[in-house]
């Protein structure tokens, strides 16, 4: 179905042509008419399916500028928050509809000013609750509530935050929920907050005809990085994402790739918001060839033209594996997912093979030369991240007791978060 066939503002049609969108995706074709009928909707859809436009266009079509906050979109991560905001701002600008993003890790004062002028808020749960607690945000005029990447929000432990935020919204509202998977907790949210929702499901994350999946069985642990360098230089025609299990490993791998002449940047939760966005934009603008990431990039990031996924560290579950490889083979394009196995990775990989019903082929080991791998920054990174996050490695301040991630003052016994992860 073409966008012209749906009853919507002509401004949106001009914008879709400007972006090269002619045919609707499946989730857009099914969701937009139902949202226009004022139905609550549940969309089971992965990142890259076009789901943001599926809810953004009908919401923008019904917003009246200058009448307070009329729509709230909750997202699990800062990166997704920024991406969704950009879509609303782009398509809403001709209608003078103001959208602002609300997330942690940045100063709260500019957000307070922007909220006063906003028609639409896109935010992460923690920072939204912060504003509710300060009384700097009001949802009394809210007409639309969107829960984006619901399963991811619940996986990250935001379920109580989501419940509290929803309690501050009017009961008479239209609620839209999008989730890559729908399991018991997601069903609970559906049954509690949505009224007779229309449930729309897209196809599977992975098109087996488009995505080739292979693994390499590496006998020597110290040859893993050398193989990665060889594959990136000789078997990677476009953009690549290399997944590592920790922040420190992501930094170290990225720096070693640079030393081997590979144009790589890292992204993970220990970086400042500005640096994370710089890494993403560098990849999107094709100023970088390789993004070295923790699983923060496996969900909610719509990065186009990724031809290869490399599991430098094997994920622990089949669910994580599927989300990682779902970054490639999109929009009818072919892609390749490569898992690099050493002795310590086999237990996780066997678990994935047992739960995952698609074939992962063993690849023949190519001829490649060993290259140096230096762990020059790992110990320094460990200390920096532990201090910043309060992760047990940093010392408590004088007069405080250290309880893992949170630090408590004996005066108040109230938790103080050094670096909120919302």
pLDDT tens profile 108-158: 999 999 999 999 999 999 999 999 999 999 999 999 999 999 988 988 889
Gyration radius of the chain over CA positions: 22
- Crossing angle (nearest 10°) for helices 125-134 and 159-166: 40
Who contacts 327 (Cβ-Cβ below 8 Å, separation ≥6)? 241, 297, 298, 301, 303, 306, 309
Which ranges in 70-158 belong to alpha helices (H)? 78-92, 109-117, 125-134, 150-155
272 CB neighbour count, 10 Å cutoff: 12
The confidence band for 387, taking pLDDT boundaries of 50, 70 and 90, is very low
DSSP letters, 162-217, are HHHHHTTS-SSSEEEEEES---HHHHHHHHHH-SSPEEEE---S--TTTEEEEEEE
DSSP state of 75: -
Is residue 271 within 8 A of residue 299, CB to CB? The reply is no
181 and 252 within one domain: no
Does some domain include residue 348? yes
249 and 176 within one domain: no
Write down the residue that tokens 């669910």 correspond to.
Answer: 319
DSSP state of 361: E
139 and 288 within one domain: no
The confidence band for 382, taking pLDDT boundaries of 50, 70 and 90, is very low
Q: Say what the pLDDT of residue 225 is.
A: 97
Is residue 123 within 8 A of residue 137, CB to CB? The reply is no
The end-to-end CA distance of the chain, in Å, is 37
DSSP element (H, E) containing 123:
strand 120-123
DSSP state of 412: T
Last residue of a domain, one of 316, 332, 362: 362
CA-CA distance, 92 to 57, in Å (whole number)?
9
pLDDT tens profile 34-89: 999 999 999 987 666 789 999 999 999 999 999 999 999 999 988 889 999 999 99
DSSP element (H, E) containing 337:
strand 335-341
DSSP letters, 249-283, are HHHHHHHHHHHTT--EEEE-TTS-HHHHHHHHHHH
Instruction: Please state, rounded to an integer, the average pLDDT across all residues of the chain.
Output: 85
Closest-CA residue to 117 (of 98, 139, 130): 98
57 and 176 within one domain: yes
CA-CA distance, 172 to 144, in Å (whole number)?
9
Domain total in the chain = 2
Instruction: Output the CA angle 50-422-151, nearest 5 degrees.
Output: 45
240 and 305 within one domain: yes
307 and 288 within one domain: yes
Structural domain boundaries enclosing 341: 211-362
- Lowest-pLDDT choice from 7-11, 197-201, 298-302, 394-398: 394-398
Q: What is the CATH number of the domain that holds 34?
A: 3.40.50.300
**For 70, left (φ over 0), alpha (ψ -120 to 50), or beta?**
alpha
228 and 190 within one domain: no
């Amino acid at each position: 179905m073409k966008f012209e066939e749906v009853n919507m503002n002509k401004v949106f049609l001009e914008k879709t042509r400007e972006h090269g969108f002619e045919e609707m995706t499946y989730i857009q074709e099914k969701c937009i008419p139902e949202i226009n009928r004022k139905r609550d909707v549940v969309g089971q859809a992965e990142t890259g399916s076009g789901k943001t436009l599926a809810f953004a266009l009908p919401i923008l079509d019904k917003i009246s500028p200058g009448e307070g906050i009329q729509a709230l979109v909750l997202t699990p991560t800062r990166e997704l928050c920024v991406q969704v905001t950009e879509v609303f701002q782009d398509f809403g600008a001709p209608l003078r509809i103001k959208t602002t993003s609300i997330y942690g890790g940045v100063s709260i004062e500019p957000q307070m000013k922007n909220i006063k002028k906003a028609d639409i808020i896109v935010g992460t749960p923690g920072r939204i609750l912060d504003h509710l607690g300060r009384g700097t945000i009001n949802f009394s005029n809210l007409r639309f509530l969107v829960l984006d990447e619901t399963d991811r929000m619940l996986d990250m432990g935001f379920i109580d935050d989501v419940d509290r935020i929803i309690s501050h919204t009017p009961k008479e509202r239209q609620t839209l929920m999008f989730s890559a998977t729908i399991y018991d907790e997601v069903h609970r949210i559906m049954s509690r907050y949505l009224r007779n929702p229309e449930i729309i499901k897209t196809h599977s994350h992975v098109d087996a005809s488009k995505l080739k999946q292979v693994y390499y069985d590496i006998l020597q642990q110290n040859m893993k990085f050398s193989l990665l360098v060889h594959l990136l230089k000789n078997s990677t025609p476009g953009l690549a994402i290399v997944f590592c299990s920790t922040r420190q490993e992501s930094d170290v791998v990225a720096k070693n790739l640079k030393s081997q002449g590979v144009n790589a940047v890292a992204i993970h939760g220990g970086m400042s918001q500005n640096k994370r966005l710089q890494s993403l934009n560098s990849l999107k603008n094709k100023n970088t060839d390789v993004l070295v990431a923790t699983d923060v990039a496996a969900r909610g990031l719509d990065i186009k033209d990724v031809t290869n996924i490399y599991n430098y560290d094997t994920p622990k579950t089949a669910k994580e594996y599927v989300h990682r490889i779902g970054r490639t083979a999109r929009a009818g394009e072919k892609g390749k997912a490569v898992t690099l196995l050493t002795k310590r990775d086999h237990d996780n990989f066997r678990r994935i093979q047992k739960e995952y019903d698609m074939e992962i082929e063993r690849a023949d080991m190519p001829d490649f030369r060993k290259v140096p791998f230096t762990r020059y920054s790992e110990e320094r990174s460990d200390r920096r991240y532990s201090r910043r996050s309060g992760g047990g490695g940093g010392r408590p301040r004088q007069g405080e007791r250290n309880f893992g991630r949170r630090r408590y003052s004996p005066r108040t016994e109230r938790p103080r978060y050094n670096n909120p992860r919302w």
